[in-house]
């Protein structure tokens, strides 16, 4: 299937960014503008921005403010509150294990390109939080990953109230600060250039009970977040692509039909797509082109059936589309494919 723009994150991920930049002598709006990010993200935590843009913003802030520990400072100020309602679910879980499982399950509400998982190292009696992002290999990542693990570290400290004996933080990137500077933020060893980004801790901590849990509050938050994930996913382009692909031959190329599948008004869906620089007809066109390439390669499928499978009312529409996509008619493409197979 076609790739859509890089994955998104709610602007809540920049919680406390503005005040911190200001306190360090910078101008938040200038940094946002330099990265092509609307200043509105600072006043609308439910709006979205690309994860890659946020990564670039944090790197730029650290550089211009001459604070290589910028994200660690930001993580300290944010804490788990940066996750909004997902934090409410986690803080009202019964145990640490349940809290981490809840964060992993509901994280798509906060960031569509992020994944959280738990790994176990039984021989050492340790478990680890693994956090990964859908970033291009060459994209800057140090500040974003240090921010994330600072938030995770502070959350575990808060809900366990134990010493950090046998805790470790591993980063894949090279050292950005001195050992002494990392020690200012983490009360445990920090190791660089490791195989994984991870926060390691004794496995027994997973069974630690969270005494302040409120079951009813958690259930209310779960219902709301679960409904929002279904109806308003951050990766809306990919969801629409999947819906169109499954139903293309049965009216799935209509925005009215797809909006109904998502329990939204068509105009609402158009606005949400526009906010992510996506256009419904372009998504449908990309799905059709992908499927057309597959169907036309199978000479046993009549062209009239190919047109129907792509949601076209006539073979004439298929001809026009193929000329636009490939510069050739369907028949010409098939003849070319047949000759190439001998």
Please tell me the distance from the alpha carbon of residue 8 to that of residue 4, in angstroms, as a whole number.
11
Partners of residue 133 on adjacent β-strands: 114
> Tell me: the pLDDT tens digits for 195-229?
999 999 999 999 999 987 788 999 999 999 988 87
Buried b (16+ CB within 10 A) or exposed e, 25-37: ebebeebbeebeb
Regions of the chain short of the pLDDT cut 70: 1-6, 231-232, 263, 337-342
Q: Which pTM value belongs to this model?
A: 0.72
**What is the torsional sign of CA 37, 107, 116, 204?**
positive
Q: So what's the architecture of 241-340 in CATH?
A: Orthogonal Bundle (1.10)
| Alpha helices (H) in 113-204, listed in sequence order | 142-160, 179-185
- Distance from C-alpha of 178 to C-alpha of 176, rounded to nearest angstrom: 7
Q: What is the pLDDT of residue 320?
A: 95
Q: How, if at all, do strands 114-121 and 126-133 pair?
A: antiparallel
What is the rounded (10 degree) CA torsion for 95, 143, 112, 52?
Answer: 180
Q: Which helix (H) or strand (E) holds 37?
A: none
What digits encode the pLDDT tens for the residues 218-264? 999 999 998 887 766 777 787 788 788 888 888 778 999 888 877 67
pLDDT score recorded for residue 202: 97
Residue 1 is predicted with a pLDDT of 47
Q: What is the pLDDT of residue 340?
A: 43
CA angle 29, 19, 106 (to 5 degrees): 95
**Domain 8-226 grouped into CATH 3.90.1310:** no
The answer to whether 126 and 201 have CB atoms below 8 angstroms apart is yes
pLDDT for the residue 238 = 75
pLDDT on residue 263? 65
What is the distance between the alpha carbons of residues 10 and 112, in angstroms, rounded to a whole number? Answer: 9
* Integer Cα distance of 62 and 70 in angstroms: 5
Q: Domain-by-domain residue ranges, the chain? A: 8-226, 241-340
């Amino acid at each position: 299937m076609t790739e859509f723009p890089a994955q998104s994150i709610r602007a809540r991920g920049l919680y406390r960014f503005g005040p911190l930049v200001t306190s360090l002598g910078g101008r938040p709006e200038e940094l946002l503008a330099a990265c092509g990010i609307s200043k509105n993200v600072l006043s609308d935590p439910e709006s979205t921005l690309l994860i890659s843009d946020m990564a670039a913003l944090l790197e730029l802030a650290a550089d211009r403010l001459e604070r290589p520990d910028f994200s660690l400072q930001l993580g300290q100020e944010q804490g788990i509150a940066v996750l909004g309602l997902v934090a409410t679910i986690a803080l009202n879980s019964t145990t640490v294990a349940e809290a981490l499982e809840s964060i992993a399950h509901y994280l798509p509400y906060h960031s569509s390109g992020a994944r959280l998982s738990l790994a176990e190292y039984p021989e050492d009696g340790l478990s680890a939080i693994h956090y990964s992002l859908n970033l291009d290999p060459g994209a800057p990542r140090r500040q974003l990953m240090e921010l994330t693990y600072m938030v995770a570290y502070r959350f575990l400290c808060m809900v366990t109230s134990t010493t950090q004996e046998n805790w470790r933080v591993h980063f894949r990137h090279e050292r950005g600060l001195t050992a002494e500077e990392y020690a200012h933020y983490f009360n445990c060893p920090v190791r660089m250039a490791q195989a994984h980004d991870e926060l390691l801790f004794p496995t027994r901590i997973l069974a630690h009970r969270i005494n302040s849990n409120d079951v009813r509050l958690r259930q209310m938050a779960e219902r709301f977040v679960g409904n929002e994930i279904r109806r308003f996913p951050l990766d809306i382009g990919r969801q629409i692509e999947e819906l169109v692909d499954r139903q293309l031959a049965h009216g799935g190329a209509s925005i009215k039909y797809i909006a109904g599948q998502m329990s939204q008004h068509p105009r609402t869906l158009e606005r949400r797509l526009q906010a992510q620089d996506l256009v419904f007809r372009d998504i449908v066109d990309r799905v059709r082109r992908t499927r057309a390439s597959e169907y036309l390669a199978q000479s046993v499928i009549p062209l009239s059936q190919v047109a129907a499978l792509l949601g076209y009312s006539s073979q004439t529409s298929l001809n026009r589309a193929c000329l636009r996509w490939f510069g050739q008619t369907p028949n010409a493409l098939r003849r070319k494919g047949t000759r190439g197979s001998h």
